[in-house]
Amino acid sequence: MTFLRQPTRAGVRDAADKIARILPPTPLYLREINGVKVAFKAESLQPIGAFKIRGAWHRLTALDDDARRRGVVAFSSGNHAQGVAWAARRLGIAATIVMPADAPPAKLAGTLALGAEVVRYDRASESREIIAARLAEARGATLVPSFDDPWIIEGQGSAGLEAAAQMAALGLGVPSRVAVPCGGGGLSAGIALALRDTAVTVVEPEGWDDMRRSLEESAIEPVGDNPPPTACDSLQTQRVSPLTFGVLSQRGATGVAVSEAETAAAQRWAAEQLRLVIEPGGAVALAAVLAGKVAAARGLLVILSGGNVDIDAYARAIG
């Protein structure tokens, strides 16, 4: 893909200003882990239950009137779908979302409830990118990727600026490190742009840790053949983007991977200690801290990126 421009910190600030006019800040919680006070940014409490509302709003508000009339197309397992659908409905834009046949029922229902048209596909045998690109071309619509887009990255980065302002107001200073769930890397790249004096650690499920391996090898490494099943549906990205990888690599970001058991333990901890419902993909950064893979140190910021759960699977995870 050829990008019209690169994401910038100025773009993150612009996105943060736009988002602050329509959405209140999500809460920042403080809890002690191993005797150290850690900050938790609860993006699970967004109106759609995930941070994706930020990038979608920044991207769709950047469209001119003609593009808005022609509509938008996106592909997502659920959180980006709901973010685009929410922004599109608020702006009066027709939205078509390409979703896998095995998308969590709650995320599918949420997307439909927001008025989007949903096109289903088989994750194992079909390419969502190809389907979405063909739909966009046929309809003259704008394709809105979930992470591979400068506006999307900038919008997601607003979570970092918001959290830093909240930490400063509490006398905690600048975050020393931020642990961020990572699928395609839009959220982590945006936060890396936003918090230029903060170390960045991306966290992925084991077997889906292509960003971690890419950062270690200084070259994009796709997910291997036959990756293991994971409850982290929102982080199942086969290959990261040169755009997100470039930002994170330039910032010297590092990565770690967590197991399914560690993720479930983090969901339980969030329920018990924060009274928050966090989906598996949204809990991986917390999982890394609880497992000791990211040190609980002064100034640590942990992003809880989403809370859209399948209730039965969630009950099993925390039971």
Report the phi/psi class of residue 260: left, alpha or beta, with left for phi > 0 and alpha for psi in -120 to 50: alpha
Residue-level pLDDT at 293:
99
pLDDT(8) > 70: yes
Percent of the chain, pLDDT > 70? 99
Mean pLDDT of 278-299: 98
Residue-level pLDDT at 124:
82
pLDDT tens-digit series, residues 76-89: 888 999 999 999 99
pLDDT(264) > 80: yes
Query: Higher confidence at residue 3 or residue 24?
Result: 24
pLDDT(163) > 60: yes
Residue-level pLDDT at 1:
52
Mean pLDDT of 181-210: 98
Ranges of each domain in the chain: 9-51+150-318, 53-144
Banded model confidence at residue 40, pLDDT cuts 50, 70, 90: very high
Q: Which residues contact 81 (CB under 8 A, 6 or more apart)?
A: 74, 97, 99, 103, 107, 110, 111, 116, 118
9-51+150-318 and 53-144 agree in CATH topology: yes
For 9-51+150-318, CATH number?
Answer: 3.40.50.1100
Q: Find the angle CA(243)-CA(232)-CA(317) to the nearest 5 degrees.
A: 155
142-173 b/e with 16+ CB inside 10 Å = b? bbbbbbbbbbbbbbbbbbbbbbbebbeeeebe
- And the tokens for 207? 């077997």
Residue-level pLDDT at 107:
87
pLDDT tens-digit series, residues 221-256: 999 888 999 999 999 988 999 999 999 999 999 999
309 DSSP β-pair partners? none
Banded model confidence at residue 104, pLDDT cuts 50, 70, 90: confident
Residue-level pLDDT at 266:
99
- Amino acid identity of 162? E
Residue-level pLDDT at 3:
62
Residue-level pLDDT at 2:
55
pLDDT(52) > 80: yes
Banded model confidence at residue 295, pLDDT cuts 50, 70, 90: very high
Average pLDDT value for the chain: 96
Query: Higher confidence at residue 103 or residue 33?
Result: 33
Percent of the chain, pLDDT > 90? 90
Lowest mean pLDDT across 71-75, 101-105, 283-287, 298-302 = 101-105
Sign of CA dihedral 156, 291, 197, 162: positive
Residue-level pLDDT at 103:
86
Mean pLDDT of 200-208: 98
In the CATH hierarchy, which fold is given to the domain comprising 53-144?
A: Rossmann fold (3.40.50)
